[in-house]
Structure 1
Amino acid sequence: MSLLWQARFFTTVNHLRDLPKLQVPEIAFAGRSNAGKSTAINILCNQKRLAFASKTPGRTQHINYFSLGGAHVAQHRKDPTRVDEIRALLVDLPGYGYAEVPGEAKSHWNQLLGTYIQSREQLAGLVMIMDARRSFTDLDVQMLEWFAPTGKPVHCLLTKADKLNRNESTNALRQAHTVLSSYVDGQGERFPFTVQLFSALKRIGIDEADRKILDLLGLAADEVASAQ
């Protein structure tokens, strides 16, 4: 059983001042609306409705937190003993690509999202969710350019891989590698950006994604120990 299966709702945030004060590692999930972000989170956590997929893409404008450890602890319960048991947080960021969202709300959203991924100290890495049939959109590239200066890892899940044949899958991976390898630091070293194919429907790449996320959270060794 994966440690990610322990995930439980913790809190929802619409302002930076309300971000959790816990000093535990966080992994954020970001992706364009309709790329399958909520579905990916749910399948990785082995739950049906942990992450909520809105029927109207772009309507979910909050940052949603899920805790690992401290079972069934929600921030509003103010239970310090149980909160101390939390080992990591999964962070579901608002989907981007929101043509129907009013300008004022979009501006607030951009500020919240951009400031969070650029300055959140607890953030250990970013999981980017992209439709394998489309690869990097302009908004995906914008997200990468926001995040790259942090030097932290990005792991890309190319979702809906079941809709591609073998040649198309190979090409999608190759194109993604090309884009990701173009990001280098001031010394010309590549940033720690990785990519894989993923399909919730056909359960492609779930174990690989699970290992990567736990590794970024520093929990991979615990996962191995619990399996023994």
Structure 2
Amino acid sequence: MSNPLQGAQFVLAAHRISQLPADQGAEVAFAGRSNAGKSSALNALTGQRGLARTSKTPGRTQQMVAFALPSPQGGEPVRLIDLPGYGYAKVPEELREHWKREIDAYLHHRQSLRGVVLIADIRHPLKEFDRMMLDFCFATQLPCHLLLTKADKLSRNQAAQALAAVRKSFADGLHATVQVFSSQAATGVDEARARVAELLRTPRG
């Protein structure tokens, strides 16, 4: 199966949304807690091991990082945006507040944003940040796809139970799509690539 996210290239790292590439075309943002495996997921989806920096020290992504994808011939630009990891990084409170404001502004005002891929560790219940992001996406009708990462750390039965528990928690009206994922074992990679590609093709509502 060909990879629709192949050919991703680093463009820039931005400290403010005003420094991101021009707000044109289509982009999908990746969000999640710093220790949930966001960089590994990005690398697995693009098929480039060193595209997003992975580290044994969670919280290394402290800027918005833009990656360009090959756009269709004569088409609008297409991007992936890696948002700063949340909740674990030992960073000053002032920087945390800065990123809270910038991410909030990005999600509210970025016209090229087509959806969010939310990364959460399958071994733990969804955290407050995860639920806030899901609530925000639902309230603003922004599509969200939840990757339950590190599935290789559980048995297949345990992973299925964790997936069912998350789906059950969505019964109160959240409309995110969700899947089991492991960058280590390549579990769910094709499914996730297809979902991201679909989001990039979806016109903004």
Does TM, normalized by the shorter one, top 0.5?
yes
Once the two structures are aligned, what percentage of the paired residues are identical?
43
- Normalized against structure 1, the TM-score is what? 0.81
Q: Given residue 88 of structure 2, which amino acid in structure 1 is its aligned partner?
A: Y
Mapped to 2, the partners of 1:30 and 1:24 lie a distance apart of: 20
Matched, 1:116 2:117: no
Aligned residue pairs total 201
| Aligned equivalent of 1:165 | 155
| Aligned equivalent of 1:125 | 115
**Could you give the per-residue CA deviations for residues 159-218 of structure 1, whole angstroms, max 9, x where no partner exists?**
11111123311211111112334235xxxxxx3x10000111111101101111101111
Are the equivalent residues in 2 in contact too, given 1:158–1:196 (CA < 8 A)?
Answer: yes
| Aligned equivalent of 1:34 | 35
Matched, 1:25 2:26: yes
Mapped to 2, the partners of 1:212 and 1:66 lie a distance apart of: 17
Q: Given residue 199 of structure 1, which amino acid in structure 2 is its aligned partner?
A: S
**What are structure 2's unaligned runs of at least 5 residues?**
none
Are the equivalent residues in 2 in contact too, given 1:59–1:101 (CA < 8 A)?
Answer: no
Q: Tell me the secondary structure at the aligned position of residue 58 of structure 2.
A: coil
| Aligned equivalent of 2:59 | 58
1:118-197 equivalences in 2 (<5 Å): 118-183=108-173, 191=175, 193-197=176-180
Are the equivalent residues in 2 in contact too, given 1:35–1:131 (CA < 8 A)?
Answer: yes
Matched, 1:5 2:15: no
**What are structure 1's unaligned runs of at least 5 residues?**
71-81, 185-190, 220-228
Mapped to 2, the partners of 1:183 and 1:120 lie a distance apart of: 25
Are the equivalent residues in 2 in contact too, given 1:3–1:68 (CA < 8 A)?
Answer: no
Q: Given residue 53 of structure 1, which amino acid in structure 2 is its aligned partner?
A: T
Q: How big is the alpha-carbon RMSD for the aligned residues of Structure 1 and Structure 2?
A: 2.1
Mapped to 2, the partners of 1:121 and 1:85 lie a distance apart of: 17
How far the C-alpha of 1:99 sits from its partner, in A, is 5.5
Q: Tell me the secondary structure at the aligned position of residue 136 of structure 2.
A: helix
State which structure, 1 or 2, has the greater radius of gyration over its C-alpha atoms: 1
- Normalized against structure 2, the TM-score is what? 0.89
| Aligned equivalent of 1:209 | 192
Are the equivalent residues in 2 in contact too, given 1:135–1:158 (CA < 8 A)?
Answer: no
Mapped to 2, the partners of 1:22 and 1:117 lie a distance apart of: 12
